[in-house]
Chains A and B, each alone.
Chain A
């Protein structure tokens, strides 16, 4: 805190983004071994060293690989000595970014390193994710993540919002776009496959895999020093709905809409949207909630249907949207992250580049 700045909000930007190559398994690497090259890459992009970073925040879940306190070992890759200012969320890294953003707003730090990683390959992911459900009424039934998404997909089909060919087209578009993304796990055309849980087929589901991502945030002039065209966070907000699926309208996402409204997404149109819709049908819900027209480029990276490292996939949406602003391929992009079954909790960020 300099004490000289006028009171009021600071401008905070994403100034660098890096991600691993997302793969079905990385069993030759521990979590920190998988993460470390990504941390080095994102720091190298800004010329910063760990000691220069004001705040570090990460997101991960020990349930994925079954390793207790894996996040403390992942911290080895940061180089946390002398002791650093650090925090961790048991959530997707997008929420770690939210925490870092608030930290920068307070003025206590000018830069933040945000990272997240997920190693789903050691465990049965569909079953692992049942452990996040209500332990009284849901978890004892072991309803897996694909089953819950399939209930949502059927509700959309019943409502006339989509059909199976439309869902297949979302899958095909995603993987076609991913052909240009060297980090994606599924790149290029794939057969849409058999039913996993009807009406969802393999093509409607995200690949299971391992991966990591990292972002650097910076405030004000620091951001301009570190990045030629910072991706300014014009707004960011997250909202949550009731956990029980039976009290929600699964064909809509009021929490996404409200987060978008609070983030200022509706004030002016965006040209790009990176949506964290792990299942094809969820893209239908999000497009509706976010009022995205046909002119908006959705998931040019291929999105989560091409690479879905759990706990990192939401942060990657923010990183991909920011990277497009950095490369001057977007002037105003929306990034979305989700958590919980059937889009229970949603985060929306609006990123802008300065006029070219």
Chain B
């Protein structure tokens, strides 16, 4: 069995998300160092505020300002911060019920060690130096020595600010180590030696190229390796007229389905070495390898007579 192939795979998106009116007021407020909550029909104040009552699903929009100080309701010591988390040094995850709120907000607490943290600890917001209207405008919480507590009642707030934030951009990145599995590893391994190796279904005898390890018709593992090609037949094609981004190929060019000799289905490839308007169904082609490449660069005509339609009509 060939060595398991592995490659880094990074999945990264900047998600652009629009905000509802309550979220917009809350996140804009954070930018202005104001913490807003929302009142529910039964008189509770939710911080962070949501657009709909989590109990009754009623739409809610009555905003109030609460204090930037509060009390830890539960905590967890994180001695090894991970990428993207609020602090790069060991910290406590905390749920904090801000003074005036009935629910708790999740964030980080900057504390010297777990012995300095407990449920019931009084804390206050440490604001980020640069604020954009995001939950990270709260840099973290910090312990707050305040023997008298905060007695301020939530004050009504319009939720209106100059330059209201209406959306956020949330970058997300996950790093994977991709491994293609048994069948595709064997396929890629053979391809490195300029050989195309498919796999045959033990039941219907179809040869899959590239193989994915299973016959999707029979639901069986394909284990018998079969070398196919290198020559094949164009079964159908299209003419590409629009240049793709980051693809250094002159247009127009032909992209084709090619049934390699011995394969039970066609694969895709570019056709070169022939004017685009002379490519036709049945054209016999062979792969052209660039030096050091793991895949054929393109396929070119072999000069053989065209294949008879009946020989490839099942492979369209």
Contact = CB atoms under 8 A, between A and B. Distances in A.
A46 interface: no
Contacts of B185: 28
Contact of B4 (A28, A31, A50, A80): A28
B106 A78 contact: no
A52 interface: no
Interface stretch (A182-190, A195-203, A224-232, A308-316): A195-203
B27 interface: yes
Contact of B82 (A81, A122, A126, A138): A126
B219 A50 contact: yes
A247 B103 contact: yes
B48 A151 contact: no
A148 B85 CA distance: 13
Contacts of B229: none
B172 A122 contact: no
Contacts of A158: 74, 119
Contacts of A81: 216-218
Q: How large is the interface on B (under 10, 10 to 19, 20 to 34, 35 or more residues)?
A: 35 or more
A72 to B, nearest CB: 10
Interface in B10-36: 11, 15, 17, 19, 23, 27
Q: Which 9 A-B pairs have the closest CB atoms?
A: A79-B219, A30-B181, A246-B104, A150-B76, A142-B84, A242-B54, A198-B77, A66-B176, A76-B216
Contacts of B74: 151-152, 154-155, 158, 250
B77 A127 contact: no
Nearest to B75: A154
A110 to B, nearest CB: 20
Contacts of A148: 93
Interface stretch (A13-21, A129-137, A266-274, A288-296): A129-137
A197 B93 contact: yes
Given A73-B212, A123-B176, A150-B93, A198 B79 contact: yes
Given A131-B174, A158-B119, A137 B135 contact: yes
Interface stretch (A32-40, A100-108, A172-180, A214-222): A32-40
B88 to A, nearest CB: 12
Contact of A66 (B168, B172, B178): B178
Contacts of A122: 9, 176-179
Nearest to B23: A136
A79 B220 contact: yes
Given A127-B174, A197-B76, A33 B86 contact: no
B93 A245 contact: no
Nearest to B140: A141
Contacts of A30: 180-184, 212-213
